[in-house]
Amino acid sequence: MPRHIQQILVLLKTPGFTHFIQHFGYVGILVWFITFDQFTPFPEEISLLIVGYLSAHHIFNPVIAGLFSLAGFLAVDTAYFFLSKKGSGFIKKRTKGSSALMQSLKEKLKTNLPKSLLIICFIPRMRMFAPILAGSLRLPFKKFLLFDAMALLVFTSLYLALGVIFHGTLSRIIQKAQGLQNIIFAGAVIVIAGIIMILVSRRKNQRNEVK
C-alpha cells in the first residue's frame, strides 16, 4: 500500500484527530492549517485529502471546508511574507541549508510569478517557500496575494476533490490491502524458512570440514 494512503488510514483511525474535527468543525480546519500543519511533518496534501474524505461522509460541506482551508493557507502565507520581508530569524532558520534551491526559486518568481506560485504549490513540502521568497524579494504584497490565492484555489480544489473520490475507493483499497497482507505474510514465512535452511546447511558443512 502506498505510504500516503497508509498515513491517511492511520490518521483517520486516531481518536484524537476525530475528536478534534468533531469538536471544532470548520474552525478546526482553519486552526489545523495555521498551527499544527506548520510544525508537523504531515503533508498539506494529505490533510486536504482527509478533509475531502470527511466531506464525502457529510461531516463537512466541501465548498465551506475548502474556503476555510484556503483561508488558513492565505493567513500563513501572509505571515510568512511579512516575517521574511522584515528579515525574521525564525524564517532564516526554516530556509537554512537551501541556498542553491532558494536562489533558483527566486529567479523563477521574478520572471513569472503566477506560474511559479502554481508550480511550487504542487511540490510537496515546498509551498511555504513561496511567501518567504516573495517577501525577501520585496514583491508587491497585493500582487503576490492575488496570484497566491489563485494558485491555492487550484491546489485546494484538486486535493479536496481527490479526497471525495478517494472515499469511493477506500473500502476496495482496504480489502486489497488485507489480501496483500496475507500474501506478504506467507511469502515472508517461506523466505525466512529458506534462509534458516541455508544457514543450517552451511553450519553443517563447516562442521564437516573441521572434522
- For residue 67, pLDDT beyond 80: yes
pLDDT tier at 32, thresholds 50, 70, 90: confident
- For residue 200, pLDDT beyond 80: no
CA atoms within 13 A on the CB side of 196: 6
Q: Which residue has the higher pLDDT, 133 or 186?
A: 133
Judge whether 209 lies within some domain: no
Judge whether 198 lies within some domain: no
Using CA atoms, how far apart are residues 193 and 158, in angstroms rounded to an integer? 47
Judge whether 208 lies within some domain: no
Judge whether 46 lies within some domain: yes
Query: Which range, of 76-90, 115-129, 149-163, 185-199, averages the lowest pLDDT?
Result: 185-199
Which residue, 203, 164, 183, is CA-closest to 49?
164
Calculate mean pLDDT across residues 134-160.
94
C-alpha distances in Å from residue 54, one per residue of 50, 78, 162, 192: 6, 28, 12, 41
Contact present, 178 and 172 (Cβ < 8 Å): no
Judge whether 185 lies within some domain: no
Tell me the pLDDT of the chain averaged across its residues.
Answer: 76
Judge whether 192 lies within some domain: no
- For residue 170, pLDDT beyond 50: yes
Judge whether 116 lies within some domain: yes
Secondary structure of residue 122 in the 3-state scheme: coil
Judge whether 108 lies within some domain: yes
Read off the pLDDT of residues 70-119 as tens digits, 9 standing for 90 and up.
999 999 999 999 998 887 776 767 666 557 777 888 888 989 999 999 99
One-letter identity of residue 42 = F
pLDDT tier at 153, thresholds 50, 70, 90: very high
The residue segments making up the domain with residue 8 are 3-171
Q: Calculate ∠ Cα 178-182-185, nearest 5°.
A: 130
Number of domains in the chain: 1
- For residue 196, pLDDT beyond 70: no
